[in-house]
Amino acid sequence: MSSKQQFQLFRFILALGISLGISMLIIFLVSKEPWTAISYLLLGPFGSMRHFLSIFAQATPLIFTGLALSLCFKSGNFSMITDACLYISAVLTAALAIRLSLPFPLHPLVILLLAAVMGGIIGSLPALAKLYFKANELVTSLMLNYVFFYLGLFTISKYFADREAGTFASLKYAKTAVLPILVKGSKLHLGFFLALLLAVLFSILLYKTRFGYELRLSGSNPSFAKMVGISSSKVILLTQVLAGMVAGLGGAVEQMGMYQRFNWQESPSYAWDGVIIAILSRNNPALVPFSALFLAYIRVGADIMSRKSDVQNELVALIQALLILFVTAEAFLAGWEHRREVKESLATVDTALPAAASTKPAAETEPEAEAMAAPVAESNPTVVSAKPTVETESTASAPLSKSGKEEA
């Protein structure tokens, strides 16, 4: 681990400690039993196997949206169309899970494939608007989120709603379209491992392939990328399509793994959670699962705390806000990092100077070489010195000056 990575890790741990410290201070101010509330917040997820496994279940959609937004932000694009991709793909999943009749292994695979295609198509819209109409991708994506959200509500209520249900809900999904639960009595399903697999694949894509290099270069220095012949338009479009496909897979996995019918009457806002994950992971796909698990852990603990103590689970929003504030604040520990870099630079210079002083100049080493070569030349007259004799003005005038003295 490099010194910069060590600093970033230390910075994150310190920010986390400060955020939890402030949150605990607030708990002491508002709660009549603060120690009980704090114990449920920090240790509640370990109270039972069901609570512990719910961390992984809640982290699953966060990993998908975190990966999608990490790709967007890494390429220098701030598109939030991930929300629409996830929601419409969930609607498509509901439609296929209700109307389509296929055996178990094939049914979820077909749904995942079509959901990914749907997410990629929707994800490309802000990129196309930016490339051809110079429209700001953030504005267009936020507007399209509302368009696709109400389009999804209309589709479910018009064609797939269960009229006998007391609330807004679709018909039940076919059993062959439901992802299997890995541990009985929990909500941990197969989608969690699919999310981990995608994190590994996108980490390889981003740091081990040419496209990943072009993506990172276009995001960090678009002018230089253009100078070296990288097509920024192609990178933007492909990145948005890939991000939309990941979000579409997230919507399909969440519906098939966690629900028996579609009942998202309001947007789940997983995309905004994905922003938090992308910020905490520094847009690194390899760190996205860890950030998602941490956020899910805090939320599960806050939920247990709200049910078993007098502190509401809105406290988790405060922890998230403080954590993001310290992680994204460039001035946080910037002076300490600057002093550390200066000390490292001075230490490098101090070690380089003695090494340079220990090497003798060429003028000092030449007499020693000639002294060592003299016995060899005497023993073997055929050996000719590799150093040419340069007759200077001072050596030529030396005999003359001697003879002149004798004459005088």
Given the structure tokens 């989120």, which residue do they identify? 145
Residue 147 tokens read as 């368009």
Classify 170 as helix, strand or coil: strand
Classify 399 as helix, strand or coil: helix
Residue 392 tokens read as 């200077």
Question: What pLDDT digit, counting tens, does each position of 338-348 carry?
Answer: 677 677 777 77
| Rounded distance between C-alpha atoms, residue 81 and residue 92, angstroms | 17
Report how far Cα 297 is from the mean position of its chain's Cα atoms: 19
Classify 181 as helix, strand or coil: strand
Q: What is the predicted pLDDT for the residue at 331?
A: 58
| Rounded distance between C-alpha atoms, residue 155 and residue 94, angstroms | 10
| Rounded distance between C-alpha atoms, residue 185 and residue 192, angstroms | 16
Dmax (CA) of the chain: 136
Residues 6+ apart with CB under 8 A from 380: none
pLDDT over 70 for what percent of the chain?
82
| Rounded distance between C-alpha atoms, residue 253 and residue 187, angstroms | 12
pLDDT over 90 for what percent of the chain?
48
**Higher-confidence position of 401 and 256:** 256
| Rounded distance between C-alpha atoms, residue 286 and residue 203, angstroms | 6
Strand partners, 189: 181
Q: What is the predicted pLDDT for the residue at 22?
A: 87
Strand partners, 92: none
Question: What pLDDT digit, counting tens, does each position of 158-188 carry?
Answer: 999 998 888 899 999 999 999 999 888 888 9
CA distances from 311 to 87, 251, 294 (A): 32, 32, 20
| Rounded distance between C-alpha atoms, residue 344 and residue 230, angstroms | 35
Question: What pLDDT digit, counting tens, does each position of 21-37 carry?
Answer: 888 898 898 888 889 98
User: Residue 80 above 70 pLDDT?
Assistant: yes
Angle between helices 270-280 and 315-328 in degrees, nearest 10: 40
What's the burial of 406, exposed, middle or buried (CB within 10 Å: 0-12/13-18/19+)?
exposed
Average pLDDT, the chain: 83
User: Residue 381 above 70 pLDDT?
Assistant: no
CA distances from 398 to 370, 388, 390, 393, 404 (A): 21, 19, 14, 9, 10
Are 235 and 214 in contact, with CB atoms under 8 Å apart? Answer: yes
User: Residue 379 above 50 pLDDT?
Assistant: no
Are 127 and 218 in contact, with CB atoms under 8 Å apart? Answer: no
